[in-house]
Amino acid sequence: MKTENMMSCQNCDIAMKPQYKFCHQCGQSVVSIQKPLKPVLKDMFHEMLDIDGKVLITLKAMLFKPGLMSKAYCAGKRMKYTPPLRLYLVISFISLLTLNILDSYDTRSDLGVHALKEFGAAMMFVMLPLFAVILKLMFGKTYYLSNLIFSIHIHCVIYFIYIFIFAISLAEFWSLPKDIISILLFLELPLVFYLLIYIAFALKRFYQQSWIKTLMKWLLLIMIYLTTAYGIFQLIMITKS
């Protein structure tokens, strides 16, 4: 009988099959970093961006099926979608990178605009767990963790809309015809309406309450969120000044 070559985990020295990617004893990755930088970076970005079809399925569900991904994830159906925390980190990274690129075209001296771009990530980071707390208070018979999952997905959508609106606001610097610029600027309002409607449908699907209760809580949630976000933004501005 042909004996299969075995390898050892570098962390705990247990014998394991060479096709394993992780040690079955301690869980450490067996991928070696003793190789050229290019393949290491390729593996890192492949792992971070989850480039195996999941990310496209995740984005489609997140943007066009409000609340579905959160509901499925909390129900235990998790293999189909990118994990919430990884999704948030990737979208945050892409959003900040995009903002920095777009910011290079923005020559305006509006302090409020530049402050929003500079402190937006910090404000979102604070609002994410606070939003889950607000949801927990509004939907009492729920767990904080499930509300946090829902909050992560909602804030991922907020990031997307924020990037689009910010990009459109810089249309005047793109050397486009005035008619095209006017049309693009007009699209900002529908994007805001889309986000508001998206949240309402996400609440309905995730929490499974009647439309009357959902809309009442949706309205209260929006008012609390905007008021809290504005207060945090002002606090960040004061501490940074």
Q: Which tens digit of pLDDT belongs to each residue from 145-161?
A: 999 999 999 999 998 88
Place of tokens 């050229």: 36
CA distance 200 to 210: 12
Q: Is the dihedral of CA 87, 88, 90, 95 positive or negative?
A: positive
Greater confidence, 138 or 17?
138
CA distance 197 to 83: 24
Q: For residue range 194-215, what is the model confidence (pLDDT) as tens digits? A: 999 999 999 999 999 999 999 9
pLDDT of res. 149: 95
pLDDT of res. 109: 46
Q: Is the dihedral of CA 136, 142, 148, 151 positive or negative?
A: negative
Is the pLDDT score of 240 beyond 70?
Answer: no
Q: For the chain, what is the mean pLDDT?
A: 79
Q: For residue range 229-238, what is the model confidence (pLDDT) as tens digits? A: 888 877 777 7
Greater confidence, 122 or 107?
122
Q: For residue range 26-70, what is the model confidence (pLDDT) as tens digits? A: 766 666 555 565 665 666 566 555 555 677 888 889 999 999 999
pLDDT of res. 83: 86
DSSP 29: B
Backbone angles phi, psi at 8, to 5 degrees: -115, 145
CA distance 218 to 22: 44
Residue 85 to residues 66, 151, 168, 210: CA-CA distances in angstroms? Answer: 18, 11, 28, 30
Containing H/E element for 15? strand 15-16
Question: Residue 194 class from Cβ within 10 Å (0-12 exposed, 13-18 middle, 19+ buried)?
Answer: middle
Q: Is the dihedral of CA 214, 219, 224, 230 positive or negative?
A: positive
Residue type, 205: R
pLDDT of res. 112: 46
Q: What is the mean pLDDT of residues 168-197?
A: 76
Domain boundaries, the chain: 50-240
Residue type, 62: M
Q: For residue range 77-87, what is the model confidence (pLDDT) as tens digits? A: 888 888 888 88
Give, rounded to a whole angstrom, the gap between the first and last alpha carbons of the chain.
Answer: 74
Containing H/E element for 235? helix 211-240
Question: pLDDT grade, residue 179 (50/70/90)?
Answer: confident
Backbone angles phi, psi at 26, to 5 degrees: -110, -15
SS (H, E, C) 203-227: HHHHHCCCHHHHHHHHHHHHHHHHH
